[in-house]
Amino acid sequence: MTSCGKDWAVGLIAAIKDSKNHVISSDIAVVIPDKYPKAKHHYLVLPKGDIPDIFHELYLLAQNVIEVKRCHMDDFQIGFHAQPSMQRLHLHVISKDFVSDCLKTKKHWASFNTELFLPYQDAYARLEMEGCIKPLAKERVQELGGSELICNQCEFVAKNMPDLKRHLYDHWMEKQ
């Protein structure tokens, strides 16, 4: 938790209540832009309340926001953080470009490009088979947070975040 305390962790609940934040919504969930996007497109799909089974609805809204933004599913990853830092379950819908000024640290990168990011299909399968998703061991989280900066689009290994960001930008420019 940061020095912002609990206010930071519950910030998503306030964002749900303000319809100006909604990209799209349904009766039970909303899609909002991530306040600190780590890619060109980065959205959060959040349930409006605490309900027992929302996985299917969240995934449908994730697909819908990609369609609304006129993008392609193959250019996105959809999933959950294995070690959530915010209160309220939320599903990330994030483009694979990772071109963003808010992508600043190895921790940011690792949270979407290692086991710290749990793809929707994997989370759903685990819940179906095991009934729960167990948190990663603290040691594993630390190990993943310090992993090499390997490009998510090729085998390039960056020396540091600025090096990785330049490389990712080059990938993005090739697609423009």
pLDDT category, 3, cuts 50, 70, 90?
very low
Would the pLDDT of 174 be above 90?
Answer: yes
- CB of 48 closer than 8 Å to CB of 90: no
Q: Count the Cβ atoms, other than its own, within 10 Å of residue 98.
A: 25
Report the catalytic residues.
Answer: 90
Mean pLDDT of 146-155: 96
Q: Which residue has the higher pLDDT, 6 or 139?
A: 139
- CB of 16 closer than 8 Å to CB of 86: no
Q: What is the pLDDT of residues 58-98, one digit of tens each?
A: 899 999 999 999 999 999 999 999 987 777 788 999 999 99
Output the six-digit token pair for 31. 């899609």
Output the six-digit token pair for 121. 């299909």
Task: For tokens 């994730």, name the residue.
Answer: 62
Report percent pLDDT > 90 for the chain: 67
Q: What is the pLDDT of residues 38-47, one digit of tens each?
A: 999 999 998 8
Picking from 1, 21, 14, 34, the residue whose alpha carbon sits closest to that of residue 112 is 34
Would the pLDDT of 13 be above 80?
Answer: no
What pLDDT score does 7 carry?
57
What are the extents of the domains in the chain?
A: 6-147
State the sign of the Cα–Cα–Cα–Cα dihedral 164, 148, 111, 53: positive
The partner residues of 24 in beta bridges, in order of sequence, read 31
Sheet architecture: strand order including 117-119: 24-25, 29-33, 42-47, 91-95, 76-81, 117-119
Picking from 25, 34, 11, 1, the residue whose alpha carbon sits closest to that of residue 88 is 11
Architecture of domain 6-147: 2-Layer Sandwich (3.30)
Total-model pTM: 0.84
